[in-house]
């Protein structure tokens, strides 16, 4: 082996010694509350398929029917010949759903975030990010070449200090529902702050869309914030909506700017049209079936009450993301392994995904969980955290 590769091995060894080594598990079933893993069935408490739509029969059917009509591949980028009827219809439905003038599909949320920020910002501008923002937002900010400032988590005062010294175009960026904590960004205050400083506000509502707000309109809907209040909304389709892809919604000028300038929009293959059709079917279910959100609230309440009684350290979350704070990375991994042994899949989230010393078990709930499964998870957590 060359010296460079010997160095890689040494680095991997160091990662392992800190309890930070990451590895994949091979699933051999559709997504759902029960997964097939290594030849056995485990109860899934780590998916972002909060509403249980990833394998919903109507969504699967829509996908199959669309494959018969449109085939599998989209053939090219949207601007060449890859923009099909299903994409266009889905964009219109997403715009209506979010109460925005227009929406634009991206192939993933990661790409949407990189694309928006690079299109709106450049040298001489400034971007302000919550410390706990998703990696794709942080990368988008760095890639944009704008001056990059992180403010203390959900701390509007800390943001204010940074804004006062800023020049050029200003973009404030935040997760809506924070992906690893489950808490809500203080959007009304952020929106007021953005207006006061003539800054844009961008919200990534990957974990709120479909899950929070009346009919699943997301965190902006929950707070009653319109396009004027939050000019840039990013949402993903691979979580609450159960499919794949992402979109950005906002004014006509925003969307046209992205079509002209967002490199991760222009230079990439469009989503398969069948994915768009499947998403149209899942969006209908999201809007119609309030019981899925009601059930999630009930399950989260039950989980929190039980966890408190066991003395487990919860976070301030009103979402289906209910992390249990452990602290030490290796300990979080050990507990996750013990839970798996007991038949529950719960992932240990470690730095650098979360801050040093705040490794956690990221328990996520699905509308398809049964109360009994929550109770059994709590039992297993009790045993695993005592060992
Ligand atoms: C998952 C996630 C993304 C990335 O979306 P993908 O479609 O999976 O690439 C972006 N932002 C947040 C907050 C996320 O949780």
Question: Residues 284-323: pLDDT tens digits?
Answer: 999 999 999 999 999 999 999 999 999 999 999 999 999 9
Alpha helices in the chain (DSSP H): 3-17, 57-70, 85-98, 109-120, 135-143, 156-164, 187-196, 219-223, 252-261, 263-266, 273-288, 290-309, 329-341, 371-386
- pLDDT value at 18 more than 90: no
Atom of ligand 1 nearest to the CA of 176: 13
Lowest mean pLDDT, pick from 101-105, 354-358, 377-381 = 354-358
State whether the beta carbon of 108 lies less than 6 angstroms from ligand 1: yes
Residue 136 alpha carbon to ligand 1 centre in Å: 7
- State mean pLDDT over 224-247: 98
**Distance between CA atoms of 248 and 78, rounded to whole angstroms?**
15
How would DSSP label each residue in 189-218?
HHHHHHHHTT-EEEEE-TTTTTTSSGGG--
Residues 364 and 344 sit within 8 Å (Cβ to Cβ): no
- pLDDT value at 178 more than 90: yes
- State mean pLDDT over 33-51: 97
SS3 state of residue 76 = coil
Indicate the top mutation candidate among 31, 108, 109, 117 to test ligand 1's pocket, ranked by most ligand atoms within 8 A of CB.
Answer: 109
pLDDT at position 55 is 98
One domain for residues 122 and 247: yes
- State mean pLDDT over 355-372: 97
Lowest mean pLDDT, pick from 18-27, 135-144, 303-312 = 18-27
Please count the structural domains in the chain: 2
CATH number at residue 100: 3.40.640.10
- State mean pLDDT over 161-181: 95
The answer as to whether 4 is a domain residue is no
One domain for residues 205 and 320: no
pLDDT tens for 326-341 read 999 999 999 999 999 9
One domain for residues 191 and 42: no
Burial of 81 (0-12, 13-18, 19+ CB in 10 A): exposed
Percentage of residues of the chain with pLDDT beyond 70: 100
pLDDT at position 387 is 77
State whether the beta carbon of 74 lies less than 6 angstroms from ligand 1: no
pLDDT at position 39 is 92
One domain for residues 72 and 113: yes
SS3 state of residue 371 = helix
pLDDT tens for 48-81 read 999 999 999 999 999 999 999 999 999 999 999 9
- State mean pLDDT over 133-149: 97
State whether the beta carbon of 56 lies less than 6 angstroms from ligand 1: no
pLDDT tens for 85-94 read 999 999 999 9
The answer as to whether 8 is a domain residue is no
- pLDDT value at 199 more than 80: yes
State whether the beta carbon of 179 lies less than 6 angstroms from ligand 1: yes
The answer as to whether 67 is a domain residue is yes
One domain for residues 38 and 108: no
Q: Which residues are identified as catalytic?
A: 179, 207, 239
One domain for residues 39 and 132: no
One domain for residues 93 and 144: yes
pLDDT band, very low/low/confident/very high, at 108 (cuts 50, 70, 90):
very high
pLDDT band, very low/low/confident/very high, at 5 (cuts 50, 70, 90):
confident
pLDDT at position 62 is 98
The answer as to whether 61 is a domain residue is yes
The residues, any chain, with a CB within 8 Å of residue 217's CB and separated by 6 or more, are 97, 98, 99, 209
One domain for residues 363 and 278: no
pLDDT at position 56 is 98
One domain for residues 236 and 129: yes
One domain for residues 125 and 188: yes
pLDDT band, very low/low/confident/very high, at 1 (cuts 50, 70, 90):
low
- pLDDT value at 277 more than 70: yes
State whether the beta carbon of 136 lies less than 6 angstroms from ligand 1: yes
Residues 254 and 223 sit within 8 Å (Cβ to Cβ): no
Indicate the top mutation candidate among 107, 205, 206 to test ligand 1's pocket, ranked by most ligand atoms within 8 A of CB.
Answer: 206
pLDDT averaged over the chain?
96
Atom of ligand 1 nearest to the CA of 246: 7
Lowest mean pLDDT, pick from 19-23, 68-72, 225-229 = 19-23
State whether the beta carbon of 293 lies less than 6 angstroms from ligand 1: no
- pLDDT value at 255 more than 80: yes
CATH number at residue 308: 3.90.1150.10
Question: pTM (2 decimals)?
Answer: 0.96
The answer as to whether 278 is a domain residue is yes
The last residue of a domain, from among 266, 288, 310: 288
The answer as to whether 15 is a domain residue is no
Percentage of residues of the chain with pLDDT beyond 90: 96
- State mean pLDDT over 156-169: 94
One domain for residues 130 and 113: yes
- Which residue range is the domain that position 239 belongs to? 57-288
- State mean pLDDT over 12-20: 90
One domain for residues 273 and 328: no
């Amino acid at each position: 082996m060359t010296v460079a590769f010997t160095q890689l091995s040494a680095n991997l060894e160091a990662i392992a010694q800190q309890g930070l080594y990451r590895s994949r598990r091979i699933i051999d079933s559709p997504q759902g509350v029960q997964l097939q893993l290594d030849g056995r069935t485990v109860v899934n408490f780590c998916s972002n398929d909060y509403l249980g739509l990833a394998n919903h029969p109507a969504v699967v059917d829509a996908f199959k029917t669309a494959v018969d009509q449109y085939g599998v591949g989209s053939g090219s980028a949207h601007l060449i010949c890859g923009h099909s009827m299903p994409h266009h219809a889905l964009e219109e439905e997403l715009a209506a759903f979010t109460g925005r003038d227009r929406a634009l599909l991206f192939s993933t949320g990661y790409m949407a975030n990189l694309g928006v920020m690079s299109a709106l910002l450049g040298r001489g501008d400034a971007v302000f990010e919550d410390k706990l923002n998703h990696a794709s937002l942080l990368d988008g900010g760095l890639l944009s070449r704008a001056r990059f400032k992180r403010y203390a988590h959900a701390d509007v005062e800390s943001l204010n200090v940074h804004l006062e010294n800023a020049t050029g175009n200003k973009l404030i960026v935040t997760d809506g529902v924070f992906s690893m904590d489950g808490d809500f960004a203080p959007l009304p205050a952020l929106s007021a702050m953005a207006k006061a400083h003539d800054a844009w506000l961008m919200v990534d509502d990957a974990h709120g869309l479909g899950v929070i707000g009346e009919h699943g309109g997301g965190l902006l809907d929950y707070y009653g914030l319109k396009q004027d209040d939050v000019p840039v909304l990013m949402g993903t389709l691979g979580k609450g909506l159960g499919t794949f892809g992402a979109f950005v919604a906002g004014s006509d000028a925003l969307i046209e700017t992205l079509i002209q300038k967002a490199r991760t929009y222009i230079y990439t293959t469009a989503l398969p049209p069948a994915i768009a059709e499947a998403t149209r079917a899942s969006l209908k279910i999201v809007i119609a079936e309030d019981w899925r959100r009601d059930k999630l609230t009930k399950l989260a309440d039950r989980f929190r009450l039980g966890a408190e009684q066991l003395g487990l350290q919860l976070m301030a979350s009103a979402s289906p993301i209910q992390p249990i704070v452990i602290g030490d990375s290796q300990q979080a991994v050990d507990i996750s392994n013990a839970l798996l042994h007991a038949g529950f899949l719960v992932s240990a989230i470690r730095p650098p995904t979360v801050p040093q010393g705040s490794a956690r078990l990221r328990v996520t709930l699905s509308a398809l969980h049964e109360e009994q499964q929550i109770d059994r998870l709590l039992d297993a957590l009790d045993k695993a955290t005592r060992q």
